[in-house]
């Protein structure tokens, strides 16, 4: 195959992958780390330290230069503590595929508790914020988490549930509804992904499309995993 054709196929594949990942990233329940509610509040879950790294959030809070410096130091401290926590589970992570379902669930629970303790110190790291800034940041956290599938990222949290006096019955209703919405979103995303792929492949000639299909092989449905178990939208946070 001519080098130019190879490059074009590669660019097409990369473009398709990037667009698909962008869509999935936008629809992924935010406010949830890899380990659910126990995940790292400061990184990867829409927590306060993560949000404070966004330029738009910093502008909204009108952070001063000295506050930004304190933020950088707080992020570094949190990251170091997070590495220490993960280091404690390194061996178990490496062997989790060979572990039983019960052991994997026990590991998941243990990790969640470890991160819950870790996250309990985040508030102290935010002491450089003024009262009105901290209040506004809390509001932005909820808004960010509502962008998740079904909005359960915020409505399903224990903290917000307690403030709203959400009953056990309401919590279960929200959980079930979030699962239903998550499945609907998955179907829509799959359809959108296929449509995008078809439109992108339409830019290739027949021989290129055939070659690309050979490169892809038969379809495979990847399963989202959390410590070895499938995760559905609506899992408790």
How would DSSP label each residue in the chain?
Answer: --HHHHHHHHHHHHHHHHHHHHHHHHHSPTT-BTTBTTS-TTSSS--HHHHTTSHHHHHHHT--HHHHHHHHHHHHHHHHHHHHHHHHTHHHHHTGGGS-HHHHHHHHHHHHHHHHHHHTTHHHHTTTS-HHHHHHHHHHHHHHHTTSGGGHHHHTSHHHHHHTT--HHHHHHHHHHHHHHHHHHHHHHHHHHHHHHHHHHTTS-HHHHHHHHHHH-S---PPPEETTEE--TT---
Q: Which of 8-17, 68-77, 223-232 has the highest mean pLDDT?
A: 68-77
In angstroms, the first-to-last Cα distance of the chain is 50
pLDDT band at 42 (very low <50, low <70, confident <90, very high): very low
Give the phi and the psi of residue 33 in degrees, each rounded to 5.
Answer: -85, -170
Cα 3 from Cα 15, distance rounded (Å): 18
Mean pLDDT of all residues belonging to the chain: 74
Asked if 175 and 152 touch (Cβ cutoff 8 Å), the reply is: yes
pLDDT tens readout for residues 189-222: 888 988 998 898 899 999 998 888 888 777 776 6
pLDDT tens readout for residues 127-147: 999 999 999 998 888 888 777
Q: Which residue has the higher pLDDT, 22 or 116?
A: 116
Give residue 219's pLDDT: 72
Instruction: Decide if pLDDT at 46 tops 70.
Output: no
Supply the pTM of this predicted model: 0.56
Cα 51 from Cα 38, distance rounded (Å): 17
pLDDT tens readout for residues 63-73: 999 999 999 99
Map out the domains of the chain as residue ranges. 31-145, 156-237
């Amino acid at each position: 195959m001519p080098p130019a054709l190879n490059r074009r196929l590669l660019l097409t594949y990369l473009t398709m992958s990037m667009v698909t990942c962008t869509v999935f990233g936008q629809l992924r329940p935010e406010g949830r780390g890899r380990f659910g509610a126990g995940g790292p509040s400061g990184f990867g879950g829409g927590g306060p330290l993560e949000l404070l790294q966004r330029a738009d959030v910093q502008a909204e809070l009108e952070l001063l230069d000295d506050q930004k410096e304190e933020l950088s130091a707080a992020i570094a401290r949190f990251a170091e503590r997070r590495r220490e926590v993960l280091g404690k589970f390194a061996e178990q992570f490496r062997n989790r595929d060979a572990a039983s379902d019960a052991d994997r669930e026990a590991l998941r629970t243990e990790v969640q508790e470890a991160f819950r303790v870790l996250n309990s110190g985040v508030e102290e790291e935010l002491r450089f914020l003024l009262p009105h800034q901290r209040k506004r940041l809390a509001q932005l956290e909820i808004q960010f988490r509502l962008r998740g599938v079904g909005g359960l990222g915020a409505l399903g949290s224990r903290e917000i549930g307690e403030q709203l006096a959400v009953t056990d019955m309401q919590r279960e209703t929200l959980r079930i509804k979030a699962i239903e919405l998550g499945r609907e979103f998955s179907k829509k995303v799959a359809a959108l992904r296929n449509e995008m792929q078809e439109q992108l492949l339409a830019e290739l000639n027949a021989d290129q499309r055939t070659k690309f299909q050979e490169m892809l092989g038969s379809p495979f449905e990847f399963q989202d995993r959390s410590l070895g178990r499938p995760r559905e939208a609506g899992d408790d946070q």
